[in-house]
Structure 1
């Protein structure tokens, strides 16, 4: 299992265990961060699994940037984008269904959760799409296994290489700044032979104990500049990456314009890095916890409303913060699986299958997209997946990066979803 969560209030034993693993020593050994990478003291900066072979970092401007927001814990897509036109929806959720009159931007079939009103300016601008009934090609209700399968995006393969690592590996350049994870660990999607970088904030990208005169950096340079070993190469790459990151550290910090949440802080960091124009191509960010087995809440309040509102507000603040870089940024949301159609006896929903993905920003064809399968009302009824989530991602990487779909998503029989222009 590989993940980087910032969650609390777990309702699922498996997800709670996943959270402990992600923040404890087990996560380091499982990811092999110290076996194949360099971690500076206090996990201030982490370079990906092949940094020992990386070429020196260069701060070259990226023509496109992809931000992947993982909704950890399995978000309820049927609440985020409500299929009010399907009569089975309200019948299956007698206490938590959201009535049509409360929905935002409803069409004849779908509508947004009412807590997502901060997203309306972007929606009305034609910069947001929602793709429903998406997910893994085969149902997987394990947080551990589903997250890893989704982030590897290579069914049947035993290789520990994530789809974002394959994407960055196929673009020009060799800087570890091209792939960046906002957090203390690198997610499975960025693990692989191409180097990547991870830090909790812009200020964390530094040599621990460095001084304003750069004496520590100079001393380390003397120690490592002539070392021909793989560790010597790794150290020099680290120094180069930190130096190339300078413009991001000089960019203004606008976190006060974001919600004071984990997602708000992380997207603020992402925007600061993008505005620094240091050559970043992909950034990963997490939002948790979406594992709502109990007390999801109603239209007027509750867990779902809080999370949906945070997602919308943070996304809106992020795009408002990008400045001149906005036209090259696309954001995608992913969650490991969806929830059951029917509510349970605790006012929540249990692990399901199909879900919704949001795609926002550059190149998006706005509105609701779906090949709707229809809902059943039985207790174990699922939203069936009609669109493999990789098809949506393939649209993004092919249209925005000109990437080879076959290289990024091995074995996928690509069929465009139409979500990207």
Structure 2
């Protein structure tokens, strides 16, 4: 994939709003995300074109992260039935006479499932046991509103008075609070910024800077002036110190080798190149979020020969494959998991597309993944016009398994009031 071929519109007014809201500053910073972070995380300070969400507590010195979780959000509601095709369910082909993927084109097929052929760059990871898929996963109840579903997925605390993102709660279980422990790369930072822990939202490696300052130290007149103006031990004062610490520590990322040329020339490729650079710089980043959109394919989804779905799946696969190849030995500490706000309906519509549905698929790749297999309980498809793929695996059960095997975090803190079910997708 040499360029982003994704259409900008989707035929869904809310989806168009979602797309336009995510392209505000330097490649994808959401006003809604920054505002939410400012209100819930304490305060949001702009440094260059990056945003540091400052915590109510002072940031400690950066420490090496023993693990890194990369959460890749497939914005717009990815169709799990196209990405992981249930060829063994006869309803799939009758419900999608024009957009179904032929069985003989599927990759790594078993008796029920096979991967979309555009995912070929990931086939070797599957065969090496480093990639897996969980089907019929998602929110415990249907929610066809992009914004409402995204917020529900990223809060992950239905019925709770806790107003924070599950990723920010995960950061709070670490023993250190570096402002670089949580990084949102070119994304809307809802789940990271909403909460007590500091985080950084950045779109490019050169975006983290203090305007007009030649160096990030009190020897620089600009930094010294800011330090004098905000030396109080209050939220703004601690916030400024957090931001300056983030800028200083981020210098190690700029100094790390730039490997962008080894990635596809797409927005996801550039984002994952920056994620790899941050991990290899060892600046303490333990949770990283990346967005990949637009999956809101109401019209012209395309066929196996080409089109929107094939291009989008190909972008995803090429970028993730390049990411793990680029990490090298650092891959032993990195686990990547995908989420999407919901899936698409079973039956194709009159516009060669798919409308908002319920269940979708989650991919897991990298460290600790019990790969080369499809997971989840298959509920079977029905072919009525408004039929959804039911959710049989709560997405929090998948995330809980990742957190429980890769971190020392308290699941009761990260997912309050939730009792996960065993999925088996992570090695214990």
TM over 0.5: yes
In the TM superposition, residue 325 of structure 1 has moved relative to its aligned partner by 1.1
**Partner of residue 3, structure 2:** none
**Partner of residue 245, structure 1:** 250
Q: Judge which range, 184-193 or 335-344, deviates more.
A: 184-193
Answer yes or no: is the 8 Å Cα contact 1:95–1:347 preserved in 2: yes
Partner Cα distance (1:189, 1:150) in 2: 12
Answer yes or no: is the 8 Å Cα contact 1:163–1:190 preserved in 2: no
Partner Cα distance (2:333, 2:200) in 1: 21
> Over residues 161-197 of structure 1, what are the superposed CA-to-partner deviations in whole Å (9 max), with x where a residue is unaligned?
0000010101110112111100264223541111111
**Partner of residue 408, structure 2:** 402
**Partner of residue 163, structure 1:** 166
**Partner of residue 377, structure 2:** 371
Answer yes or no: is the 8 Å Cα contact 1:56–1:241 preserved in 2: no
The 1:11–1:170 alpha-carbon spacing in structure 2 relative to 1, beyond 3 Å, is same
1:136 and 2:142 equivalent? no
The 1:213–1:68 alpha-carbon spacing in structure 2 relative to 1, beyond 3 Å, is closer
Match of 2:393 among 376, 387, 394: 387
The 1:28–1:369 alpha-carbon spacing in structure 2 relative to 1, beyond 3 Å, is closer
1:300 and 2:266 equivalent? no
Match of 1:111 among 110, 114, 117: 114
Task: Please tell me the root mean square deviation across aligned C-alpha atoms, in Å.
Answer: 2.0
Partner Cα distance (1:142, 1:56) in 2: 36
Answer yes or no: is the 8 Å Cα contact 2:47–2:243 preserved in 1: no
Answer yes or no: is the 8 Å Cα contact 1:209–1:216 preserved in 2: no
1:88 and 2:94 equivalent? no
Partner Cα distance (1:348, 1:158) in 2: 38
**Partner of residue 337, structure 1:** 342
In the TM superposition, residue 96 of structure 1 has moved relative to its aligned partner by 0.6
Partner Cα distance (1:405, 1:395) in 2: 9
User: Secondary structure of the equivalent of 2:361?
Assistant: strand
In the TM superposition, residue 23 of structure 1 has moved relative to its aligned partner by 4.4
Q: Give TM-score, length-normalised by structure 1.
A: 0.93
Q: Judge which range, 152-161 or 329-338, deviates more.
A: 152-161
**Partner of residue 267, structure 1:** 272
Match of 2:289 among 280, 284, 287: 284
> Over residues 14-73 of structure 1, what are the superposed CA-to-partner deviations in whole Å (9 max), with x where a residue is unaligned?
11123334445952674253793132255x22122xx25232342211111000000000
User: Secondary structure of the equivalent of 2:239?
Assistant: helix
Answer yes or no: is the 8 Å Cα contact 1:54–1:176 preserved in 2: no
Partner Cα distance (1:121, 1:86) in 2: 26
Partner Cα distance (1:163, 1:276) in 2: 25
The 1:108–1:213 alpha-carbon spacing in structure 2 relative to 1, beyond 3 Å, is closer
Question: What stretches of structure 1 of length at least 5 have no aligned partner?
Answer: 1-5
Q: Give TM-score, length-normalised by structure 2.
A: 0.92
**Partner of residue 16, structure 1:** 16
Question: What stretches of structure 2 of length at least 5 have no aligned partner?
Answer: 1-5, 25-29
**Partner of residue 190, structure 2:** 187
Partner Cα distance (1:223, 1:182) in 2: 31
User: Secondary structure of the equivalent of 1:73?
Assistant: coil
Partner Cα distance (2:353, 2:307) in 1: 11
> Over residues 213-270 of structure 1, what are the superposed CA-to-partner deviations in whole Å (9 max), with x where a residue is unaligned?
9624543465257433332222112112221222222111111111111111111111
> Over residues 375-396 of structure 1, what are the superposed CA-to-partner deviations in whole Å (9 max), with x where a residue is unaligned?
1111111111000000000000
Answer yes or no: is the 8 Å Cα contact 1:37–1:46 preserved in 2: no
Answer yes or no: is the 8 Å Cα contact 2:192–2:199 preserved in 1: no
Q: How many residues align?
A: 413
**Partner of residue 3, structure 1:** none
Partner Cα distance (2:33, 2:358) in 1: 30
> Over residues 101-122 of structure 1, what are the superposed CA-to-partner deviations in whole Å (9 max), with x where a residue is unaligned?
0001111111000011111121
Match of 1:78 among 44, 57, 81: 81
The 1:202–1:7 alpha-carbon spacing in structure 2 relative to 1, beyond 3 Å, is farther
